Amino acid sequence: MSRIGKKAVPLPAGVEFNIDGQEITVKGPKGSLSVVLVSEVSVSKTEAGLLITPSDDSKRARSMWGMSRTLVANIVTGVSEGYSKTLEIRGVGYRAALKGKILSLNLGLSHEVNYEAPEGVELKVTKPTEIVVSGIDKQLVGQVAANIRKYRKPEPFKGKGIRYQGEYVFRKEGKKK
């Protein structure tokens, strides 16, 4: 039995949904998202919210049960509250600036790195060393943050690079004479 799958997905006020076979479309104050679930699970409306149940007792149906519930919960949270990830830039001379929709990064390379955010993701530079990635799609927000971080991952000797807010970077001791 899936502990996550047993729980119903609560629907906050102002969020409406539509079930069309295996496709669930959710509309809220921040926008609209949809997800197509696998055929091994079914969705029903209860007074507690949306309830996902496996169609049979096969291993695949039980495996997809909790994941399907989490996908539905993610889109409900996305259209009602949204998601955001904060990136910190550490290093002398490392900084970020926003030029329209293009993020410009100076990361100690011989050139400036320009990153254009995809549709549905908003970038904000609150400080020259802090980038906030926000949007309604959890997967897309995480992927954009990972793509930006990939330009200069935190290195273990001085800790320079781009890291998630609150991320711990294990530091190594340098060479000894």
| Residue pLDDT tens, the chain, 177 long | 668 888 889 988 888 888 888 899 999 999 999 999 998 998 888 888 888 999 888 889 888 998 999 999 999 999 999 999 999 999 999 999 999 889 999 998 899 999 999 999 999 999 999 999 999 999 999 999 999 999 999 999 998 999 999 989 999 998 887
Taking a C-beta distance cutoff of 8 angstroms, is the pair 106, 118 a contact? no
Q: What pTM value is reported for the model?
A: 0.87
CATH number of the 3-80 domain: 3.90.930.12
Kindly state the tokens that stand for 40.
């091994």
Q: What strands lie across the sheet with 121-127, from one edge to the other? A: 121-127, 130-135, 83-90, 161-164
Tell me which fold the domain 83-164 belongs to: Outer Surface Protein A; domain 3 (3.90.930)
Equal fold, 3-80 vs 83-164: yes
Paired tokens of 32: 């609209």
Domain layout of the chain by residue ranges = 3-80, 83-164
Contact status, residue 151 vs residue 113, Cβ threshold 8 Å: yes
HSE-CB for 137 with a 13 A CA cutoff: 14
In order of 6, 113, 131, the CA distances from 105 in angstroms are 45, 5, 10
User: Distance between CA 32 and CA 21 in Å, rounded?
Assistant: 18
C-alpha atoms less than 13 angstroms from C-alpha of 72 in its C-beta half-sphere? 35
